[in-house]
Amino acid sequence: MDISITAPMDATTGEVAVNVRRLNFYYNHSHQALYDISMDIHRKKVTAFIGPSGCGKSTLLRCLNRMNDVILNTRIEGDILINGSDIYKEGVRLEALRKRVGMVFQRSNPFPMAIFDNIAFGPRMRGMKDKAFLAEIVERSLKQADLWKEVKDRLGKSALDLSGGQQQRLCIARTLANDPEIILMDEPASALDPISTAKIEETIQVLKEQYTIVIVTHNLQQAARCSDYTAFFYMGKLLEMDMTGKIFQKPSVKDTEDYITGKFG
């Protein structure tokens, strides 16, 4: 089977933000979690990774900003190029990489500090001290994450007092404050109620005008609603990647069709 899959380029932009080339990934030295993955992730588009549990979609997501580096006994082969440069080559500074490639997790993880300080955390770590400038970044990031109106009068209050949905949007805002190019989202709405989920999805639609977004989700309807491209993974392999409308109406691979119609997984 040809597993070097590239979704058709969108005629309007046609730009690739991330190239994954012949990627293999192993846990515990020998357990192979990803097999020869090749894919292009398009700039300023939303790409959804779908597939049954254990298919490798989250593993691949974590490879994109080297989150897997912190796990012991892992091994990676192949290349991941972001804007043409290999993120696994020697000398790549992880903080700089993760500034460019931000991540939002399944469980929101606000720092136990004020809302303002949560958002300002990244810029401060990078040495930014100008208060007016920090305030500007905090306001802009919260507005982008559609949280500003709800928290603007209590920026000094603890972020832990926010609701689950608000906390998740806070985490998105915190990522945005670092001015990333790419935002990775691992099941960002799986613990949220439908309204909070809709707000996150709406935020994703606004954000894709400026950022490249990759989202891992078990919720197929969510992938169908908010992504431009969908990649289907099964047992560590990328079986199909295409425009989202095509994947959910008439996928080319039978395994994809069986998965989206609830016949296997």
Partner 1 sequence: MPHYDKHFDKELQTLKEDVLRLGGIVEEQVSNAIASLMNHNIELANQTIARDHLVNKTEVEIDEMCIDLLARRQPMGADLRFVTTAIKIVDNLERMGDMAVNISERVLELAAEPQLKAYLDIPRMGEYCTSMLKNALDAFVTSNTALAQQVRLEDDQVDALTHQIFRELLSYMMEDPHTIARATRIMFIAKYIERIADHSTNIAEMVIYMVEGRIVRHTEPHMPPAK
Q: Tell me which residues touch partner 1 (CB under 8 A).
A: 220-221, 224, 248-251, 256-258, 260-265
Q: How far is the CB of 65 from partner 1 (least distance, A)?
A: 30
Q: How far is the CB of 49 from partner 1 (least distance, A)?
A: 16
Closer CB to partner 1, residue 18 or residue 46? 46
Pick from 189, 185, 187: which is nearest to 198 by CA? 189
> Cα separation of 64 and 155, whole Å?
32
Closer CB to partner 1, residue 63 or residue 226? 226
- Which two structure tokens, joined as six digits, stand for 49? 């990774």
> Cα separation of 185 and 101, whole Å?
11
Q: How far is the CB of 42 from partner 1 (least distance, A)?
A: 22
> Cα separation of 25 and 215, whole Å?
19
Closer CB to partner 1, residue 154 or residue 250? 250
Q: How far is the CB of 57 from partner 1 (least distance, A)?
A: 18
What is the per-residue burial (b if ≥16 Cβ within 10 Å, else e) of 194-208?
eebbebbbebbeebb
Coil, strand or helix at 62: helix
Q: How far is the CB of 249 from partner 1 (least distance, A)?
A: 6
Closer CB to partner 1, residue 109 or residue 219? 219
Closer CB to partner 1, residue 183 or residue 260? 260
Q: How far is the CB of 259 from partner 1 (least distance, A)?
A: 9
Q: How far apart are the first and last CA of the chain?
A: 20
Closer CB to partner 1, residue 156 or residue 262? 262
Q: Give the DSSP per-residue string, 107-176.
A: S----SSBHHHHHHHHHHHTT---HHHHHHHHHHHHHHTT-HHHHGGGTTSBGGGS-HHHHHHHHHHHHH
